Amino acid sequence: MDFALTDDERDIRDWVRTFVRKEVLPLEPDVLRRERRGERGLPADLLASLQDKARQAGFFGVQTPEEYGGMGLGAQTAALVEIELGRSFVPFGLAGDADNILYEANAEQRATYLVPTIEGVRTSCFGITEPGAGSDAKAIRTTARKDGGDWVINGEKTFITRGNEADFAMVFAVTDGDLGADGGVTCFLVDREMGWRSEPIDTMGEWGPAALIFDDVRVPARNILGAEGQGFELAMRWIGRGRYLLPARALGACERLLEMSLEHARNRETFGEPIGERQAIQWMIADSAVEIEALRWLVLHAAWQVDQGVDSRHAQSIAKLYGGVKANEIVDRVLQIHGGMGYTRELPIERWYRELRLLRIYEGTDEMQRRTIARNLLKGHARVGGSLG
């Protein structure tokens, strides 16, 4: 086994780390002030400026194929990039990405949706979750009824990332109730101007999801993504596109949080000596360090499987589950080490405390990951000490 990074991987990691330190970390106080005023993230012009600066250095579309102007990098390198971006809570990402299923678009759709999304001219969102269909994606009730050369969509989607900002949505609707999810669900590319509306959902963190409302929204048949009835297959492909990237970003946050704890433990004194001399603090630091290293290898192993063409779903579920649970435990310890100051908004710990909690729900709850892992083992789809297949 060779755990060493290649020279290219190391150079990419180091460039992103430097970019985050110099360009992104200094923006954290401003982001916190904006959030306290009810504003989310970075101003659009500042985000675009940062992304342009990265693009000028060649960092654009990490996993986007080179034919579309991207870097065309593999999963393992993408994970390394995400780890470094996770070292700040500033909601910044490199430009040039598009949802994986958008590459199923035909020539006309690529020109209208895919390429403008990669270039940042258009913004998409993925609409499958509904008030009664979260983990059970097959329970969607949004319908699309054929009417001449069009389809008419009715229903509601909820907790949709970028739903407030998107100008088009990939909407999954039941087109044949008799066929069920496998063959009876179709994906539509639906422009906002076709008539759907979004309503913000207030959450405990700074993630700003939306509800999408479809009331007799008319969509031309040419806006079907893929083939009629292929929607659920596309949805599952989207959901499984890169689950390892979520714990990768959390890993970067945990590294930064532990570094903050080390600095505080060295400098904060009680009863005449640094709190880092206290066994209780040392154990919290040690446990966090061990868990961070374990998470690193779970994430990179899952990404390595993707690069090798191995079915990585089992490994990704393990990384997602472990990352969500341990990131929440680590941020809780870090807050405890900082005591009362950790609980204040003067430090960013409480911000991460709220944000990391989402990882145990978003894109597959802890319970669903446990269900998946256990079923894979019980049915023989995965082996103890092995992978799927």
Q: How far apart are CA 124 and CA 105, in angstroms?
A: 14
- Which of 323, 359, 348, 322 has the alpha carbon at shortest distance from 257? 348
Among 291, 355, 363, 367, the active-site one is: 363
**SS3 at position 382:** strand
Beta bridge partners of 188: 171, 224
Q: How far apart are CA 2 and CA 5, in angstroms?
A: 9
- Which of 385, 333, 326, 383 has the alpha carbon at shortest distance from 360? 326
Q: Which amino acid type is present at position 136?
A: D
The torsion angles phi and psi of 331, rounded to 5 degrees, stand at: -65, -30
Q: Return all residues near 317 (Cβ < 8 A) that are at least 6 apart.
A: 243, 364, 369, 372, 373, 376
- For the stretch 285-290, contacts whose Cβ atoms lie closer than 8 Å and that sit 24 or more positions apart, written own/partner, are 285/258, 285/261, 285/337, 287/333, 288/254, 288/258, 288/261, 288/329, 288/330, 288/333, 288/334, 289/258
Cβ neighbour number for residue 340 with a 10 Å cutoff: 7
**SS3 at position 293:** helix
Is 28 part of the annotated catalytic residue set? no
**C-alpha distances in angstroms, 294 versus 84, 142, 361?**
17, 41, 21
Quick one: tokens of 164?
A: 């407030």
Q: How far apart are CA 94 and CA 85, in angstroms?
A: 9
Catalytically active residues, by annotation:
363
